[in-house]
Amino acid sequence: MILARLKNFKVLTPYFKKYIPHYVIGFAFLIVHNYGYVKFPEYMKLTLEEVSATNNPLLVRNLLLITTAYLAITCLFMYISRWTLIGLSRKIEHHFRQDLYHKLLHLSTEFYKNEQVGDLVSRITNDLNDVRTMLGPGIMYIPNSLSRIAFFIPVMITLSPILMGAIMGLIVVLVVLILFIMPMLRPLYKKIQTIRASINNEAWQFIFGISTIKLNTIETIKSNHFNKISHRYLKANVRLAVFEGFTWPLFLFIFSMSAIIILAIGGREVIAGRLNLAELLQFNIMLSILTFSVFSLGWVMSLITQGLSALERINNFFLQPSADTKKIATLPTSGKPKSITLKNLSLKDPHQRIILDNISLSIKPGEIIALTGKTGSGKTSLIELLLSIIPPSSGQILIDQTDLATIKPEILYQIITAVPQETFLFSTTIKNNIAFEEEHNPNLPRVITAAKLSAIHKEITAFPNQYNQILGERGITLSGGQKQRTAISRSLYKKASILILDDALSSVDSQTEKNIIDNLKKFKSLKTIILSSHKISLLRIADRILYLDQGRLSEQGSHSELMLLNRQYAKMARLQELKAAIE
């Protein structure tokens, strides 16, 4: 089972190649220190023989000093080998985590729609730690144990072939048990890792959904649900503990039999004169060291089984295709506004339900376009297509006559900037949130200008630390409207050619909205602006309004033109005007 899963190591090959010289040094010191362990029992034998054969305390003292010095050097070599090999596992863990994070950044949005946050976090933390443990102690103890076995067994056979033959029988039994039992642990480890991911995901939802939980008074329901998952985790770990609780005492019992064998067979050999007490002591010391080495193989197999299971889960990330592998086209990223052309654009969901149906239109450079329509009419889906978050089912989107599907993401997102419906702010300063693409060297005058244009400057200066005010998790320090305006500031800070606002002023009061609208009008010569909204006050500023109905472009024109048509847009506008008059 383990051999069949060693193909998962392929993803780690580049890291092993990078550190080949370090591994050579680490394994060299490891082998030398194990050779030293062979000599230690031999010196102990010589010391005992001298004690038995002579009354020269000086010679005995010298032998003990030599033995101590030899053991100290051996331990120093062991420290160097451990420092090198365990240190390498930490370095590989660091690089692996960086590459994993880079891979996650370049996966498609569709991938994240099918994954749970808690599971992702579990894989890049807990699972990666299991992989690191496998690469450190797991890899180190295999050559460590095998080299000791290779060094010790010939010497022990020389001392007493009969005694070693009996001990080898125990070792064979132990190895067979290890090879039989360890594959049975894999399903348990995998189940524990999966449930642990579920716990992380449930905790994440609880923390970020605490307001909803409290408002709906479902604390008890959520607590009971979490307890069920925790109980499953407990049961899985108890099963593992029971299994290991049976396995390791069994191994220990087999090792304990070696002491009985030494007393029974070794004692008989001493009585028969084929072995003296000093040689029996040497054999016993070597067996004790060898016992630990063979015993550690069982522990190592457990680490490797757990590590391979974790590596298999992590490999699922690397097997996912990156979203931008075939995008090679470039465009000038200057501040000039861009044209946008939609050709027969259609979009269907996985169940083949039509979301957008054969939309064709041209947007001139510097034009302000407004998207509106009933909820579910396809506005946000069209914006996601423009942002290359999802691919169209058919049709094309062209930016300055270049197919959007071929433009490199790093180029595309210099050209386009967007404020989505759900704004996300980082737990850092307001200044860094606005200039987050340049957070290590933000241009403060540009930050302030962007904040003024989005009508948030005065509120920022009211904070004790002003632009250096640290925001809480996901921007919790700010209100909904402040979050939206900070996100708009971020988009205005970026010198992009196309600005997209997806219902980005829904939480803003009418006066602040008017100020922002007036400021947006100033960008007509610098940006092509696409905004999505239900607010007539915002839609009025557009050069052209696109009214979507069930995924189709049913109306387009300026506010006055659509009012004259007296169709769905006009009805929506009059209804809003009536509500405003009543209020």
Are 156 and 286 within 8 A, CB to CB?
yes
Closest CA to 285 of 264, 270, 266, 271: 266
> What pLDDT shows up at residue 331?
63
* Distance between CA atoms of residues 562 and 233, nearest Å: 60
pLDDT tens sequence for the chain (583 residues):
445 556 667 778 888 888 888 888 888 888 888 887 777 777 777 777 777 666 667 777 777 787 788 778 888 888 888 888 888 888 888 888 888 888 877 777 777 777 777 777 777 777 888 888 888 887 888 888 888 888 888 888 888 888 888 888 877 777 777 777 766 777 777 788 778 777 877 777 776 667 667 666 677 777 787 888 888 888 888 887 887 777 777 777 777 777 788 778 888 878 877 878 888 888 888 887 877 777 777 777 778 877 887 888 788 777 777 665 556 666 665 667 778 888 888 888 777 788 888 888 888 888 888 888 888 888 888 888 888 888 888 888 888 888 888 887 778 888 888 888 777 777 778 888 888 776 667 788 888 888 888 888 888 888 888 888 877 666 677 777 788 888 888 888 887 888 888 877 777 777 777 777 777 777 766 788 888 888 888 888 888 888 888 888 888 888 888 888 888 888 888 888 787 677 6
Name the burial class of residue 28, with classes exposed (0-12), middle (13-18) and buried (19+) by CB atoms within 10 angstroms of its CB. Answer: middle
Paired with 356 in beta bridges are: 347
Alpha-helical runs (H) found in 477-567:
480-493, 510-521, 536-539, 559-565
Task: Report the candidate in 42, 124, 47, 36 with the shortest Cα–Cα distance to residue 81.
Answer: 36
pLDDT given at position 216: 67
Can you give the pLDDT at residue 519? 79
DSSP string, 258-306: HHHHIIIIIHHHHHTTSS-HHHHHHHHHHHHHHHHHHHHHHHHHHHHHH
Q: Give pTM, 2 decimals.
A: 0.66
| Residue 6 confidence (pLDDT) | 61
- In this structure, are residues 397 and 558 in contact, taking their beta carbons and an 8 Å threshold? no
DSSP sequence for 164-220:
HHHHHHHHHHHHHHHHHHHHHHHHHHHHHHHHHHHHHHHHHHHHHTHHHHHHTT-HH
Beta bridge partners of 547: 372, 555
Cβ atoms 419, 406 nearer than 8 A: no
Structural domains in the chain, sorted by start: 3-319 (1.20.1560.10), 340-424+484-582 (3.40.50.300)
Give the N- to C-terminal CA distance of the chain in Å, as an integer: 72
Nearest by Cα to 359 from 338, 341, 339: 341
